[in-house]
């Protein structure tokens, strides 16, 4: 594996590989790698000639200064994990390298960005779109891999690819969980072992919501989850939403949509966790 910091050098190297007819599988990450990330990389390695991974904690997608400052960073550990999945190129740029000039791009994702993460984290998805577009321009992927853990992000990236007519395929990958059901996340590193055990409650509640779907309409089902979290002092619920998988708009009655998913964002101390589950 080669590690490259410079965007220009990365672009030149990948350009050469593409001219040789090699296909590029790309996995963008913010590091602090775990099995969730590695599952995307294994798939990308399997389906392409060359695996390119980026590690970049993107400041412009953080709307919370504390979250950015405390985001876990451990490049040396990450490199070992990348070797284990036979990553070919690690692109690990600096903030100055990615943003030599002030960022001016403004994307409009319409209703997709007005709900859930978009509503509670102003500017987040614009920051995501700006960095992902730049990363695509540098790494020239044939396929790029994204986790369903960040389901709304996946929808935004698909829209970005459509809007910008980008010649690449977006490959969705299922959520990887801890043994207790907690969705793997770099932010889990900031939980104490005890909190990490207790955080299994989030997925247990999502599973309960799925189980009660046939007895309850969306609105009382949502209320049930709100009540469950109100009664648990370990968490502060930010939102629980039931939405159409395609439009991400709230579902008020069952039956009209093809696929419906429940989405949750919850605070455990000063750590914000998200998860989702398909309901049908
Ligand atoms: P991040 O480093 O958090 O920006 O995540 C990089 C990529 O890994 C994104 O496409 C995430 O959706 C994906 N990812 C993160 N956690 C998981 C997980 N538990 N299961 C599957 N994919 C994940």
For the Cβ of 149 lying below 6 angstroms from any atom of ligand 1, the answer is: yes
CA nearest neighbour of 154 among 268, 9, 40, 11: 40
Inside any domain, residue 181:
no
Largest CA distance in the chain: 60
pLDDT band at 212 (very low <50, low <70, confident <90, very high): very high
Position in ligand 1 atom list of the atom nearest CA 150: 12
Percentage of the residues of the chain whose pLDDT score is greater than 90: 99
Percentage of the residues of the chain whose pLDDT score is greater than 70: 100
For the Cβ of 173 lying below 6 angstroms from any atom of ligand 1, the answer is: yes
- Structural domain of residue 266, as residue ranges? 186-278
Specify the CATH number for the domain of residue 69: 3.40.50.620
Strand partners, 52: 26, 89
Q: What is the pLDDT of residues 53-82, one digit of tens each?
A: 999 999 999 999 999 999 999 999 999 999
Position in ligand 1 atom list of the atom nearest CA 175: 20
Residues 146 and 47 in one domain: yes
For ligand 1, atom 17, name the residue with the nearest CA: 36
Q: Is 37 noted as a catalytic residue in this protein?
A: yes
- Contact predicate 138/7, CB 8 Å: yes
pLDDT band at 258 (very low <50, low <70, confident <90, very high): confident
C-beta pairs of 37-44 under 8 Å, 24+ apart in sequence:
37/81, 37/147, 38/81, 38/84, 38/85, 39/147, 39/173, 39/174, 39/176, 40/145, 40/146, 40/147, 40/173, 41/82, 41/85, 41/87, 41/145, 42/85, 43/145, 43/171, 43/173, 44/143, 44/145, 44/171
Specify the CATH number for the domain of residue 244: 3.30.1300.10
Residues 22 and 153 in one domain: yes
Counting ligand 1 atoms within 8 A of each CB, the residue from 60, 131, 149 with the most, and so the one to mutate, is 149
Residues 114 and 193 in one domain: no
Instruction: Please tell me the total count of domains within the chain.
Output: 2
For the Cβ of 151 lying below 6 angstroms from any atom of ligand 1, the answer is: no
Inside any domain, residue 180:
no
């Amino acid at each position: 594996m080669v590690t490259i910091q410079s965007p220009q050098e990365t672009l030149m190297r990948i350009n050469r590989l593409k001219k040789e007819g090699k296909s590029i599988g790309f996995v963008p990450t913010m590091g602090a790698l775990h099995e969730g990330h590695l599952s995307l990389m294994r798939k990308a390695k399997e389906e392409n000639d060359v695996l390119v991974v980026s590690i970049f904690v993107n400041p412009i997608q953080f709307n919370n200064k504390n979250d950015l400052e405390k985001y876990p960073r451990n490049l040396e550990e990450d490199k070992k994990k990348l070797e284990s999945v036979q990553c070919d190129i690690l692109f690990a740029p600096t903030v100055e390298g990615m943003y030599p000039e002030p960022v001016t791009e403004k994307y409009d994702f319409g209703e997709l960005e007005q709900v859930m993460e978009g509503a509670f984290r102003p500017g987040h998805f614009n920051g995501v779109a700006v960095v992902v577009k730049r990363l695509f321009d540098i790494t020239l992927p044939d396929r790029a891999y994204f986790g369903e853990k960040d389901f709304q992000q996946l929808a935004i990236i698909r829209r970005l690819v459509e809007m910008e007519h980008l010649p690449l395929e977006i490959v969705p990958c299922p959520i990887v969980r801890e043994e207790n059901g907690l969705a793997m996340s770099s932010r889990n590193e900031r939980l104490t072992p005890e909190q990490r055990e207790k955080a299994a409650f989030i997925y247990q509640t999502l599973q309960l919501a799925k189980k009660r779907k046939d007895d309850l309409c969306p609105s009382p089902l949502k209320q049930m989850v709100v009540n469950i979290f109100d009664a648990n002092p370990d968490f502060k619920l930010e939102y629980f939403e039931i939405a159409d998988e395609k439009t991400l708009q709230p579902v008020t009655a069952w039956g009209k949509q093809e696929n419906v998913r429940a989405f949750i964002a919850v605070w455990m101390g000063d750590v914000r966790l998200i998860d989702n589950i398909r309901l049908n």
